[in-house]
Amino acid sequence: MPNYRRASIKGGVFFFTVVLEDRSSHLLLEQIERLKASYRLACERLPFETIAICILPDHLHAIWALPEDDADYPMRWSMIKSSFSRGLKTLTQSRSLVTKREKGIWQRRYWEHAIRNETDLERHIDYIHFNPVKHGHVSRVADWPHSSFHRFVERGWLAPDWGGDIKATAGSYGE
């Protein structure tokens, strides 16, 4: 069995991708209030700052800054995932899932990346905000409601038309 090692950096800044087991599901949007409540609860119990976030139908991306004396983001994700799953119908009853007290809603693992510098942070924030366009959910970043993009615009950090309009740039160019 592989021994997965995660970066342990107290006060670190991390980019995450967390995915549902069923990639065709829209559960995160169908249960957006449940997800927000689970997220808030985890943040109240083990504080962290959300720098950027985007929730899509089957996965989410987030960048967190942890407190100076804390590197325990795995516990925070465990709290969010378990709180969200509690009360939802079990999707599968495999012996392995029952043993691990899982419902088959989330993929067991998630992607994390320790942000190295300001350029790396900006690149990951851009990736998060452009993700709904990348996946074809909207043609403009501003049209996706479940993103910190709107907070960035309110604070003057990004222009309202940041990312352009994919419809306006689509087409055949050249001969």
Chain segment 113-143, per-residue pLDDT in tens: 999 999 999 999 999 999 999 999 999 999 9
Task: Give the mean pLDDT of 52-80.
Answer: 97
Confidence of residue 92 (pLDDT cuts 50, 70, 90): low
| Tokens read off for 140 | 């403009």
Quote the percentage of the chain above a pLDDT of 90: 74
Delimit the domains of the chain by residue range.
13-169
Give the C-alpha distances (Å, rounded to integers) separating 153 from 30, 117, 163.
26, 22, 12
Residues 148-171 pLDDT 10s: 999 999 999 999 999 988 765 554
d(CA 136, CA 159): 21
CATH class entry, domain 13-169: alpha beta
Dmax (CA) for the chain in angstroms is 61
Global pTM reads 0.85
Quote the percentage of the chain above a pLDDT of 70: 83
